[in-house]
Structure 1
Amino acid sequence: MSWDNVRGQAAAVKMLQGTLASGRASHAYLFTGPRGVGKTTAALVFAAGLLCPDRAAGDPCGRCEACRAVAAVRHPDVHRVEPDGDVIRIEQVRQVQRQAALRPVMGPYQVFLIEPAEAANEAAQNALLKVLEEPPGSTVFILIAHQTTPLLPTVLSRCVPVRFGRLPRDVAADILRERFGYGEAAELGAALGDGSIWQATRWTPEALKTRRAAALALWDALTAGPAAALEQAQAWHERRDELLEIMEMLELWLRDLLVCVEHPPGAAVDASWLVNVDQREELMRRAQGLRPDALLGALEAILAFRRQVQQNVSLRTAADVLFLDLAAHRAAAQKG
């Protein structure tokens, strides 16, 4: 286990490496950022660095018994606190208090990983605050939070913040290929994941392709006029989440079509510019003769639909408007 496992988070890694190199760890850290961007992995590498007797500057060696034990989640001085159901309860924090009062078994510290920290209810947070205010000298707390709003300001003020951002798309795509076997679907998964591996892996590669096929079928069916478009919209009046997902997929397809339309005629489109990399030839074929302003109009219609849903506009109304707009732009896109 090393910092090489934490991808796309250079600022956070640099800060934590500096802490390890200095040999002066704080008693509490708050790792914040979206779910699925490497916070837990970074916490484990940091814990290994704190406990590694052969640490080189800011890097755990990855070979000693301590490093192997942390990687295998069996180190006696690394304690993980996770929700009991949906909540981290005061009884769990009281156990943390009792454990923190003991001496470490193997290393110089006991490390407590609390994830997600925002799952702790108010009573649990107040109990945690007591140990954060008067921490035993041989303890390090790492609170891992996907959002900080539910955390008490007093808890936040006792922790050193370490911020994790969304992963760059190319980094996310590489991770999906290397660790999850996404192959040609990696770019599509990374785009839909919006910088989060957790979000990207909601769908298997096969499911991604099935969703894309559904989005293309919907787009291709929008050629029979307004009445047919409204009839098509009716099928989605009770399927809010599914329609949002299909529109997200269609948005990426239209974006790729626009890239191909704007590309010089006769030249192959660079695969790095596309999300649907595996469909480059099909995209180039479909892009021939399309009007870019109509494609932009369709993209704007999808964005408007998303805003309406967020504003709690009736799904029936929003879907009807969406399908009418998409049908109009679909027809206009084919006119030279």
Structure 2
Amino acid sequence: MWEKLKETQPAVAKMLVNSLKKDRLAHAYLFEGPRGCGKKETAKVLAKSFFCTASSGPDPCLNCPDCKRIESGNHPDVHFIEAEGQSIKVDQIRHLKKEFSFRGVESSKKVYIVDDAEKMTPGAANSILKFLEEPDGEALAVLMTTQFHRILKTIVSRSQVLTFAPLSPERLVGKLVEEGISDTDARTVSQITYDLEEGIQLCSENWIAQARNKVIQLIDEVSMRPKYAFLTLQEVWMPFFKEKKDMQLGLDLFLIWYRDVLRMQVDQTDLIVYTDQKDKLQEQALKLSQRKLGANLQAVMDAKRKLDANTAPQLLMEQLLLRLQEG
């Protein structure tokens, strides 16, 4: 609901609520901001408000057929577009335009929501630009991006740009703790995402706690038992971090660890995330030079980039372990 969104994105929520009250929604919005700051949730609430006829105010009722189907992702007149592989292709936009050429199933309204809009190929971007220039009927477009600079300037000029601010780590930790999540897990999650719902999801079924343990175990092997590191990688790491997104989170936890070691070296212990591992962090802080710590951080960031470029995960992790073991 809009009141909830006002807690985390007051400027965005206020602007959209005012537009809904005055019945002056733009035909196209560009939501820009970091990952996990609530862009997708806002787009869904906006779509519900756009379609909902059971509510007289800006807030959707959440109980009518339109609201329920938008929430479940199967509304016939709400179309979600996301990357197929590494990009959003022109054929996806052509299919969308074909869908929009048909009469709405239950009304004249239609909504399309494009996630990671920066991943549109040049053909797709130019195709959707024509779509934005010539909106058909009561159409509402929401494009979302984490890389505003990659969006065509002509698309930006034809959209109302709304900038989403990241949720502060301190605020996120407090919210997660209110949800019954441990302070240790909450602090870890606050370094990975800015979004409360995503944070809660990461903590469900103790996923983040298990992920932390596996990262600590692998780092222990690299540091103290290097000959067992590759066995731990094969038997512990790879079976747990199966999906690409999970692997990225695992590498994020590596980065957090080595940053904590650096914080320990420069006496910034109040900023440490792995608060339950201070003895091990202190041990590595004494053992590793700042040059080596910098090299380790760079190695992990390189691994994250290679994973984005579709390097085989097993090979990528083996290369990372070799770099972490270098003197």
* TM-score normalised according to structure 1 size: 0.66
1:83–1:19 Cα change, 3 Å: same
Q: How do 1:1-336 and structure 2 match up within 5 A?
A: 4=4, 8-107=8-107, 109-173=109-173, 182-193=181-192, 195=194, 201=202, 204-212=208-216, 245-246=253-254, 248-252=256-260, 255=263, 258=267, 275-276=273-274, 279=276, 302=293, 306=297
C-alpha contact (below 8 Å) 1:110/1:139 kept by paired residues: yes
- The 2-side partners of 1:251 and 1:168 are apart by 19
Compare CA radii of gyration and give the structure with the larger one.
1
Letter in 2 for 1:183: S
1:68 and 1:308 map into 2 onto residues whose CA distance is 45
In structure 1, C-alpha distance between the alignment counterparts of 2:151 and 2:162, rounded to whole Å: 15
**Quick one: which amino acid aligns to residue 84 of structure 1?**
E
Structure 1 residue 213: Cα displacement:
6.0
Partner-residue secondary structure (3-state), 1:26: coil
Residues 256-304 of structure 1: CA deviation (Å, up to 9, x unaligned): 89567x8xxxxxxxxxx87456x3xx86xx6xxx9xxx99x98898468
* 3-state secondary structure, aligned to 2:111: strand
CA contact (8 A) 1:111 1:141 kept: yes
CA contact (8 A) 2:257 2:274 kept: no
Structure 1 stretches of 5 or more lacking a match?
222-230, 263-272, 324-336
Instruction: Write the distance in 1 (CA, Å) between the matches of 2:298 and 2:86.
Output: 30
- Residue 37 of structure 1 aligns to a residue whose secondary structure is coil
182-191 or 136-145: which moved more? 182-191
Point out where structure 2 has 5 or more consecutive residues left out of the alignment. 234-247, 303-319
When residues 304 and 11 of structure 1 are mapped into structure 2, their CA distance, relative to the original with a 3 A threshold, is farther
For 2:210 and 2:7, the matched residues in 1 are separated by 25
| Shift in CA distance, 6/175, structure 1 to aligned 2, threshold 3 Å | farther
SS of residue matched to 1:144: strand
Query: How far does residue 36 in structure 1 lie from its aligned partner after superposition?
Result: 1.9
Q: TM-score, normalised by structure 2?
A: 0.67
Q: Which amino acid aligns with 1:249?
A: W
Change (3 A) 1:207 1:306: closer
Query: In structure 1, the residue corresponding to 2:8 is in which secondary structure?
Result: coil
Residue pair 2:188, 2:274 contacting (<8 A) in 1 also: no
The alpha-carbon deviation at position 184 of structure 1 amounts to 4.1
The Cα of 1:2 is off from its aligned counterpart by 5.5
Give the match's secondary structure for 2:162.
strand
